[in-house]
A and B are shown apart, each in its own frame.
Chain A
Amino acid sequence: VSTTTDIPRAEFLESALEPQPERRRRIKRRSVNTIIWFVVLLAITAVVLYPLVWLFVATFKPSSEFAQNPGLIPENPSFDNYIKVFEGIAGTPLWRFFTNSLFIAVMAVIGTLFSSALAAYAFARIRFRGVRVLFAAMIGTLLLPFHVIIIPQYILFNKLELVDTYWPLILPKFLATEAFFVFLIVQFIRNIPRDMDEAARIDGAGHIRTFTSIILPLIKPALITSAIFTFIWTWNDFLAPLLYINSPEKYPLPIALRLYNDATSTSDYGATVAVSFLALLPILLFFIVFQRFLVDGVATQGLKG
């Protein structure tokens, strides 16, 4: 269906009929269009990516320079900001915030994959009483503003004395509360022909067997997409750790960043900028490596990103 396959053929037919100079002019116009296309898109790219480039370069600016030099190039580049931030803040070294974030994100990925894949299999492949209503309810939670549950959830975890632990951040992931991923995997399973698992069923395989040996290997792309998105969203998440985590040594990066932002934004801008960049770095690397999975995942399922 792509446009590239259709255009050359049409052009060939036309060019056979039209006189030579005309044809040369057409080709010329086409390449001029392509050049304009590239230039326009490069300009948009420059605007879109400029803030990120600025952030990266700014990490090498000494704090004193921010007020006079908002431009891209630092006048006196140095690693001072990095050296300073590695000491950490509030008596906690910087690496600690990274490992905290990493732990939460990895647990979230494991929990989400486990619970979402199981639920998705049930929704997509098992016919049982109530499945239709439950599926509609699951879709409903996709559109539900989270505001309505954060207060009672907080009260619940407070009653269970789980505030200032990672449980409130991780437990919901093991219970598939992010309906987006259930939905994504359901859609993926529905695209798998039923013949394969029906054959397995006839051979006497139960649902557990069918799930683990037929479906699970086939939905790997959906699982990878879910894993990457879960990792990134959890890594970026601000509200949940803001609510639940009180001790600085348990802070994940976004909350630690707020600490830098509050404590040093006036006096030590360089440090704040450097930590901001370091916090984004894993995500950006993830993105560069897995961009096809991410972008195709969005194209397929319309994830919110």
Chain B
Amino acid sequence: VSLETQSIASAEAGSETVRRTTRQSDGGNGKRNGGNGKATVTPGRRSANRRETIAGYGFLAPWLIGFLGLTIGPMIYSLYLAFTRYNLFTDPEWIGFDNFIRMFTEDPQYIQSVQITLVYVLVGTPIKLAAALGIAMLLNYRNKGSSFFRSSFYAPSLIGASVSVAILWRAMFSTDGPVDRSLSLFGINVGGWVGNVDLVIPMMILLAVWQFGAPMVIFLAGLKQIPQELYEAAEVDGAGPIRKFRSVTIPMLSSVIFFNLLLETINAFQVFASAYIISNGSGGPAGMTNFYTLYLYKRGFADLQMGYAAAMAWALVVVVAIIAFILFRTQKSWVHYAGENK
């Protein structure tokens, strides 16, 4: 089995992954109900079922232990901690909604952290996805020679979250660094971006946009699935490039856009290493790199306010859940899946 099978499997690129998970679960349900609904269950069949169950949980055991012990258990415990005061050494003390009330009324640092994180996510993610889609379309124009570019553009996605790249980025954007000097050539003298309250978020967004390669590769796989006839038909109808983009590319790609939007948004909320390194762990200048995860880390592990940090974590879960919910709910109106006639 060569890699080709996997490339072919990308016939169901990112787009399908979302759909297939939902569809699969329906399929499984239907089949199993059919099996259970049978009035005559022979003893042999029942023991076969039991064997399957034992085998299933046997294979699943490592995952299940991790799921219960390292995901579900901790989630429940952190939900409890969110309503307590806890410093790791004395027992947690129940304080009701105090943490949440404090977050929104008495903690300007928290409010600022939420604001800059939202700016980073809501500005950075669309720019990143637009760059990814634009360059994917450029690559899709011609097959020959495009794989070199595809790989080159993907490289930053692989290393972008590393400490090395954060250090590199800080060097690039520091006073008299390469970016500063290049801009001076055009008469723009902004100085270093790192210590500048107005420019440090744009600098972080540029770091995110630099990693456009991962969504680009997914877009490219999606673009290759669009039947060429649709463009030809649109051309016959006299559609220009913009019309073709709006009426063919976007609808045919909407499921991939949805998938990328969901993943990239959730990932963007979790930015940590680069903010930590660029600000030396301080979140500065003036709290402008104090992104949500960094602030949570400082509250939980530097100040040992574990209850407060747990409350912050749950507030984030609620926000992410709401965003995911909105995306999933609205997808019916704008996401078009192949094979549907609308």
Listed in ascending order, the chain B residues whose CB lies under 8 Å from chain A are: 1-3, 5-7, 9-10, 12-14, 17, 20-21, 24-25, 28-29, 31-32, 35, 49, 52-53, 55-67, 69-71, 73-75, 77-78, 81, 88, 135, 138-146, 149-165, 167-169, 171-172, 176-178, 180-181, 210-211, 213-214, 217-218, 220-221, 224-225, 227-228, 259-260, 262-263, 266-267, 269-270, 272-273, 276-277, 280, 292-293, 296-297, 300-301, 306, 309-310, 312-314, 316-317, 320, 324
Number of residue pairs across A and B with beta carbons under 8 Å? 345
User: Nearest CB to that of B167 among chain A residues?
Assistant: A276
Residues of A contacting B88 with CB < 8 Å? 155, 158
Point out the residue from A66, A144, A258 that lies within 8 Å of B71, measured CB to CB. Answer: A144
CB distance from B339 to the nearest CB of A (A): 16
Within 8 A of B (CB), among A66-119: 66-68, 70-71, 114-116, 118-119
Task: Determine whether the beta carbon of A299 is less than 8 Å from that of B7.
Answer: yes
A137 within 8 Å of B by Cβ? yes
Residues of A contacting B32 with CB < 8 Å? 127, 132
Task: Determine whether the beta carbon of B73 is less than 8 Å from that of A283.
Answer: no
Residues of A contacting B316 with CB < 8 Å? 145, 147-148
Point out the residue from A118, A121, A141 that lies within 8 Å of B67, measured CB to CB. Answer: A141
A58 within 8 Å of B by Cβ? yes
For A34, A115, A188, A296, the residue with the greatest tally of chain B CB atoms inside 10 Å of its CB is: A296
Specify the main secondary structure of chain A where it touches its partner.
helix
Residues of B contacting A269 with CB < 8 Å? 171
Residues of A contacting B74 with CB < 8 Å? 148-149, 151-153, 156
A236 within 8 Å of B by Cβ? yes
A227 within 8 Å of B by Cβ? no
In the A-B complex, list the 7 residue pairs whose CB atoms are closest, starting with the nearest: A175-B66, A305-B214, A128-B56, A152-B74, A122-B59, A119-B63, A305-B157
Supposing A44-B153, A126-B59 touch, asked if A145 and B320 sit within 8 A by C-beta, the answer is yes
Cα of A232 to Cα of B318 in the assembled complex, Å: 30
Cα of A187 to Cα of B149 in the assembled complex, Å: 27
Q: List 8 A-B contacts (CB under 8 A).
A: A115-B63, A148-B316, A151-B310, A152-B74, A211-B59, A283-B162, A295-B154, A302-B263
Cα of A287 to Cα of B154 in the assembled complex, Å: 10
Cα of A299 to Cα of B13 in the assembled complex, Å: 6
User: Nearest CB to that of B277 among chain A residues?
Assistant: A261
A254-275 CB mask vs B (1 if < 8 Å, else 0) is 1001100110010001001100
Cα of A58 to Cα of B145 in the assembled complex, Å: 30
Within 8 A of B (CB), among A173-197: 174-177, 182-183, 187-188, 190-191
Cα of A258 to Cα of B62 in the assembled complex, Å: 34
Task: Determine whether the beta carbon of B177 is less than 8 Å from that of A70.
Answer: yes
Cα of A207 to Cα of B1 in the assembled complex, Å: 22
